[in-house]
Amino acid sequence: VARARGGAFAAWWRELVAEAPNLVADLHARSAAVPQQLGLAGEAPDVCVPVLRLLREAEASGKWPGISKGREKVILESTLSEHGGGGGSFTVGSMPGHLEEPAGNALFPDLVRCAFELEKALMPGRAPSSTIAINKRAQFLPHVDSGAGAGQGISLIVGLGDYVGGELVVEGTRHDIRYTPLEFCGWTQRHWTLPFDGERFSLVWFTPRGCEGK
């Protein structure tokens, strides 16, 4: 009986040793699937720190501009401050001739300057954009850009802040844009934001038709 038990144990042990690499791989896969906790997603890269600080100051100032009617239609209503959420969106930089200069230019000049400098730092070979959409805590619905965004060139987007989730989906493909810039064509490619937790800022650089060279 003892020999039989010993033989069974030896066989079990050999099977366990043989299967160990697969078990380890499975554990790694399971841990990778667990969402990151807020505060553990990693600190902002040095190049993004000044803009993130100014974004937080702008949010805390109480001067964040109200959202335009056009942009309001493409954001999940419950995430907007106008409807009880904390989200908002406004534009800075240049606009086509028939549109007024964005109020954000005068409200947050340091943020505007730093945001344009960040585009150069993130993508030195990219032609400078004329305009930036600045978003906070806003979940965008599936849409293509219109209004001032109609006819624009290639957009550049990056996410900033302490949040999890909130990937950008472009034509069905998910992209983690947290401190990872992404170029896409917002005018022709359908895009939207996945749900998220925490603060989530995003900057979208683009050049509307009529603003080339501004």
Phi and psi at 132, nearest 5°, equal -135, 135
pLDDT at 70 (0 to 100): 87
CATH of span 7-206: 2.60.120
pLDDT at 151 (0 to 100): 55
C-alpha closest to that of 96 among 150, 46, 60? 150
Domain boundaries, the chain: 7-206
pLDDT at 12 (0 to 100): 47
Give me the helices (H) in the chain, please: 2-33, 49-61, 69-72, 104-107, 109-122
pLDDT at 11 (0 to 100): 58
In the chain (214 residues long), the average pLDDT of successive 10-residue segments reads 52 52 41 38 88 98 92 92 91 85 96 98 96 97 77 88 98 98 94 97 92 73
pTM for the full predicted model: 0.78
pLDDT at 84 (0 to 100): 86
pLDDT at 97 (0 to 100): 74
Q: How far apart are CA 141 and CA 137, in angstroms?
A: 13
